[in-house]
Copies of this chain bind each other. A is one copy, B any other.
Amino acid sequence: MNDQTLPRPAADQLEAALGVLRQRFGERFTTNPGVREQHGHTTTHIPNQPPDAVVFPRSTEEVAEIVRTAAQYKVPIVPFGVGTSLEGHVNAAAGGVSIDFAQMNAVKSVHPEDLDVVVEPGITRTQLNTHLRDQGLFFPIDPGADATLGGMAATRASGTNAVRYGTMKDNILALEAVMADGRIIRTGTRARKSSAGYDLTRLLVGSEGTLGVITELTLRLHGIPEAMASARCTFPTVSAACDAVIATIQFGIPVARIELLDALQVKMVNKYSGLTLPEQPLLLLEFHGSEDSVAEQAKSFGEIADDAGAQDFEWTGRAEDRTKLWQARHDTYWANMQYMPNMASLVTDVCVPISRLADAVNAAQDKARELDVLAPVIGHVGDGNFHLTILIPKGDEAAFERAKSFVGWLNEMAISMEGTCTGEHGIGQGKRKYLPQELGDAPEVMRAIKMALDPDNLLNPGKIF
């Protein structure tokens, strides 16, 4: 049972809206229970709230038609990518219509000279990068899951490459969106920068579908680096690893990825991926650049790691070794879930100033021991962002409550360290109560914007606020 259920639309209004959409979209409209349930499903512990119907548009104009119909009958709308969000973002808290962008996944145009691409929101990041590869270009944001670009924009996603390439907010030049009244707007142009009015692009990025439905994205691209290398090294303590991270960032070494795994996380990775990494705090790195630059970065980092007490710094430019290491990193979700049989997980993320990172991770490890739960830590530590996966026996309600209190404690600690309750997962349903703790009155300003742009609260209601 999800305790975040909101009042549903009037039954006759809902029926009328679904009737209009059924007639208009035919086989691209469904109320099939399995399909509906799948559209409330996410990689989360938050219970499912299926929409009343799912519709599969093929164009911006069709999305606008759906939104206008929903507005006419006061029926909520929930935009849906592939459902990899972690905080209940696609749950239909008030019922309504899920808009599935599976059939809007085209690359509309690539501009290699300008390093940009125009895409539909349903394309996933691996689909996009496969399309771009032949032109020597790539889109760098990698949240782990093979999410859609529309979903990544809506949640302001980031991931392992953000320390170098930034987050979704830094890699979107412009959006097209359908607003709550069905109006289609364009928030920017293909210019690399602009001072022309309010930054509606950045306002929609991270708005979790509550202000507008994204129907097209103009993205910044990057050239595939001439050379890439990866490195790993083990540290005696989390603090030593964090010292190396701080020095790396301060010296301006342009690392593309710098990931921390705590000893427990390494142990789980070893078991799942058949590796023999020392079961101590581990940093995994990736360097991008020319052959010379990559070698110089690796050498400079090696010296920093050495000063911080690293025990076994190794780096390699060999693609197969690099792939193996990063595959193991990307498989941590599965490594964690399969470490013991019959476990459920709560995954949460926080982000703190990197000077506080070691304190935060150490405190989280202590808390896990105190609460007697397994909770491996993995983090995009160049940004001070880390994830905690709390593993509990399936169906153990007492352990679930302990895990939830652990999440609350972690979020409050991050906020007390001048950090944020979410570096990249978003607020969704799961983190609503922390937002005012973090930002005081600012959420009231957000709410005023929401009410101005969506007075009937039809766009993804029950999220953020």
Contact = CB atoms under 8 A, between A and B. Distances in A.
Contact of A191 (B196, B353, B434): B353
A360 B7 CA distance: 55
Interface stretch (A69-77, A230-238, A248-256, A327-335): A248-256
Given A179-B445, A251-B223, A198 B193 contact: no
A431 B113 contact: no
A350 to B, nearest CB: 8
B192 A351 contact: yes
Interface in A414-453: 414-415, 418-427, 431, 434-435, 438-446, 448-449, 451-453
Interface in A152-187: 155-158, 162, 166-167, 169-170, 179, 183-187
A111 interface: yes
A9 to B, nearest CB: 24
Given A191-B423, A292-B296, A205 B200 contact: no
B198 A207 contact: yes
A189 B422 CA distance: 11
A452 B448 contact: yes
Contact of A194 (B252, B351, B451): B351
A439 B197 contact: yes
A337 interface: no
Contacts of A116: 353
Contacts of A420: 188-189, 191, 193-196
A115 interface: yes
B186 A440 contact: yes
- How large, as a class, is the contact surface on chain A? 35 or more
Contacts of A197: 206, 427, 435, 439, 442-443, 446, 464
Interface string A277-318: 000000000000110110010001000000000000000000
Contacts of A448: 452-453
A21 interface: no
Given A170-B170, A355-B111, A449-B449, A383 B199 contact: no
A385 interface: yes
B185 A445 contact: yes
A169 B199 contact: yes
A321 interface: no
A343 interface: no
Contact of A113 (B113, B222, B254, B354): B354
A47 interface: no
Interface centre among A158, A190, A293, A453, by most B CB within 10 Å? A190
A430 to B, nearest CB: 12
A33 interface: no
Contacts of A194: 156, 351, 420, 422-423
A113 B419 contact: no
Contacts of A418: 189-191
Nearest to A166: B170
Interface of A: 111-116, 155-158, 162, 166-167, 169-170, 179, 183-200, 202-203, 205-207, 211, 222-223, 225-226, 246, 249-252, 254, 289-290, 292-293, 296, 300, 351-355, 383-385, 414-415, 418-427, 431, 434-435, 438-446, 448-449, 451-453, 464
Given A192-B385, A192-B423, A203-B203, 7 more contacts: A113-B246, A158-B195, A186-B442, A195-B422, A225-B252, A226-B252, A451-B452
